[in-house]
Amino acid sequence: MTVSVLPNAAAALSELTSIDLAARVQLAAVKTPLIETPIPTAYVAAEDAASTPPLLLIHGFDSSLFEFRRLLPLLEPSAWAMDLLGFGFSDRALIPNLSPGAIKLHLHSFWQQQIGRPVVLVGASMGGAAAIDFALTYPETLAGLVLIDAAGFAAGPAMGNLMVPPLDSWATAFLRSPRVRRSISRQAYFDKTFVTADAELCAALHLQCPGWQEALIAFTKSGGYNFLAAKIPEIACPTLVIWGEQDKILGTKDARRFERAIPNSKLVWISNCGHVPHLEKPQETAAAIAPFIAQLPPTA
């Protein structure tokens, strides 16, 4: 298994979907308006880069593209995944002031340089909020939008008021704790047997990348996506909302709020499922996405 893009600990991955995804992770040197130096950005390319419409999968808070290790193979050959600026295995050292605006510019630059045609953006949890922000700014780039237990109405990380020295270091050290991360994982799943050793490793690999603590502090201090709620009705593209019926992280009320607020939207519930349908029920999640993709109008 090739793990040169990833920390050495990736060699201990044990589940086939994790091993396969690790072997496909690449780095793109993404040129952005943010700085003169291209930003090394971790991603997985679609098997058929010319397929239409392409799907671009973006992960949640303090996570990485490994979130999609079980869903991405079911969306082949057209699915891409990437690490957002400041998260996952993308470079953190070059951007000291990490904010939703910087994340959006980086995402748009990646889309321009790697895909360059209308895409279906698939965002999970905080990645859903990032996808909404992107859709509102760059509507011409989207063929459709898929929100999986998405943030947007929900408030951002509650640690924001702790992000002053030395509390910021203490808060991130707390979040780094394997015991704490295991507890969060167990809360995210309805079926706790999914919290395997491999799943815990996938969720913690990016913590070994340089600048993890500094980037997490910078993003949290920015306030995150707390500005989005009033803008959600402005989403113009077809939108699919997928939600786990037993979500204990965000609850379930926001699923209906998205359905009511977004004019051209459809809500699909995933039963016996928590906050991460793409990990806990990937087959059902892919089965919800397939007909949505099939009915999208043709794009140039």
Query: pTM here?
Result: 0.93
pLDDT-derived band at 159, boundaries 50, 70, 90: very low
H/E/C letters for each residue in 69-122?
A: CCCHHHHCCCEEEECCCCCCCCCCCCCCCCCHHHHHHHHHHHHHHHHCCCEEEE
Give pLDDT, residue 298: 77
Show the tokens assigned to 255: 């699923």
CA nearest neighbour of 185 among 284, 60, 80, 9: 60
Average predicted confidence (pLDDT) for the chain? 91
Distance between CA atoms of 35 and 95, rounded to whole angstroms? 8
pLDDT tens-digit map of 178-222 = 888 889 899 999 999 999 999 999 999 999 998 888 888 888 888
pLDDT at residue 294 greater than cutoff 80: yes
d(CA 106, CA 112): 10
Task: Please provide the DSSP assignment of the chain as one string.
Answer: ---TTS-GGGGG--SHHHHHHHHH-EEEEE--SS-SSPEEEEEE--SSTT-SS-EEEE--TT--GGGGTTTGGGGTTSEEEEPPTTSTTS--TT-SS--HHHHHHHHHHHIIIII-S-EEEEEETHHHHHHHHHHHH-GGGEEEEEEES--SSS---GGGGG-STTHHHHHHHHHH-HHHHHHHHHHH-SSGGG--HHHHHHHHGGGGSTTHHHHHHHHHHTTTTTT-GGGGGG--S-EEEEEETT-SSS-SHHHHHHHHHSTTEEEEEESS--S-HHHHSHHHHHHHHHHHHHTSPP--
Residue 275 contacts residue 188 (beta carbons within 8 Å)? yes
Q: Average pLDDT in the 258-268 region?
A: 97
The pLDDT score that the predictor gives to residue 15 is 97
The pLDDT score that the predictor gives to residue 172 is 67
Query: With 60 as the cut, is the pLDDT of residue 2 above it?
Result: no
Break the chain into its structural domains and give their ranges. Answer: 8-294
Q: Is 80 exceeded by the pLDDT of residue 255?
A: yes
Q: Is the predicted pLDDT of residue 164 greater than 80, yes or no?
A: no
The CATH T-level fold of domain 8-294 is Rossmann fold (3.40.50)
Q: Rounded CA gap, 129 and 152, in Å?
A: 5
